[in-house]
Amino acid sequence: MTVTTSEQQEQARSARRASDGRRRRDLLEAATSCFGELGYEATTAQAITARAGVSRATFYAYFSSREEIFGAVAGQVCQELLDAQHLEGAIVDDLREVLRATTTAVITAYFRHGAIVGLVDHRARLDPAIGDLWSSVRERLVARYARFISRIAEAGEATPCAPPATVAQTLADAQLVGSARLASASDDERAQYISDMIVMSERLIGFT
C-alpha cells in the first residue's frame, strides 16, 4: 500500500498530538487568546504563530488548519465546563452546598471562557464537528443536573417545581445566556449574578 505525502503529514501530526508537548500547549494557549480577542474569522495561523512566538511550519507540524486548532481549543473549554460540574470530597454529602459550589464553578468557567463559548455556540451551527461536540457537552451538563435534582427529590430534601429534566434545562440555559450577557461586567456584577442564580436554582429545585 502506498502512503501519500498528506497521509504521512497527518500521521506525523497525530504522533505529535499524542505526545502533547510544550509547543502544542503554547499553540493552544495562543490560539485561545487570539480566538477570544479577535474572533474566529480574524484569527489566522499567522496571528496564532506570532502570539506563540513560533514559525508557521511549527503550526502546521501540529495542526492542519485553523478549523482543527479551533476544534482543539473548543474541546479544552468544553472539558473545563464538564469538570466544573464535578465535585469530590466531603462536600458531596451536603446537597445544597453541592448546588451552590457547582453553580458557582460552572458560571465562573463560562465567565473565564465567555468569548470562546460564544464562538463555539455560533460555530456549532456551521461546523458539524463543533456542533456534535457542543450538543454532546450541553446534553451531558443538563443530564447531570437532572440526575442531581432527582437525587435531591428522592432524598426528600426538595420538591421541584417541574420535572427534573425541565428544571435542569431551564437552569442550564439561564447560566449560558446570563453569563454571555455579563461577559464585560464588573467582578461585583458577576458575583451578584452567581448569587442570584443560586437563589433561583434553590427555589426552582424546591429545597425544603
Q: How many CB atoms lie within 10 A of CB 208?
A: 7
Position 6 scores a pLDDT of 58
Mean pLDDT of the chain: 89
How far is CA 17 from each of CA 6, 13, 28, 51, 120, rounded to the nearest angstrom? Answer: 16, 6, 11, 20, 22
Q: Running DSSP on this structure, what letter comes out for residue 157?
A: S
Position 90 scores a pLDDT of 44
Residue 111 has pLDDT above 70, yes or no: yes
Q: What is the pLDDT of residues 143-154, one digit of tens each?
A: 999 999 999 999
Position 85 scores a pLDDT of 85
The pTM of this model reads 0.83
Which whole number is the average pLDDT over 58-77? 96
Rg of the chain over Cα atoms, rounded to whole angstroms, equals 20
Q: What is the pLDDT of residues 67-76, one digit of tens each?
A: 999 999 999 9
Q: Quick one: three-class SS letters along 76-99? A: HHHHHHHHHCCCCCHHHHCHHHHH
Give φ, ψ of 207 to 5 degrees.
-55, 135
Q: Is 126 helix (H, G, I), strand (E, B) or coil?
A: coil
Q: Whole-angstrom Cα distance, residue 142 to residue 172?
A: 6
Which whole number is the average pLDDT over 171-196? 92
Q: Enumerate domains of the chain plus CATH numbers.
A: 5-64 (1.10.10.60), 71-205 (1.10.357.10)
Residue 159 has pLDDT above 90, yes or no: yes
Q: Which three cell numbers stand for residue 58?
A: 511549527
* Among the ranges given (18-27, 75-84, 120-129, 170-179), the one the predictor scored with the smallest mean pLDDT: 18-27
Q: What is the pLDDT of residues 118-143, one digit of tens each?
A: 999 999 999 999 999 999 999 999 99
Q: Where are the alpha helices (DSSP H) in 22-163?
A: 22-38, 45-52, 56-62, 66-84, 95-112, 114-123, 128-154
Q: Running DSSP on this structure, what letter comes out for residue 1?
A: -
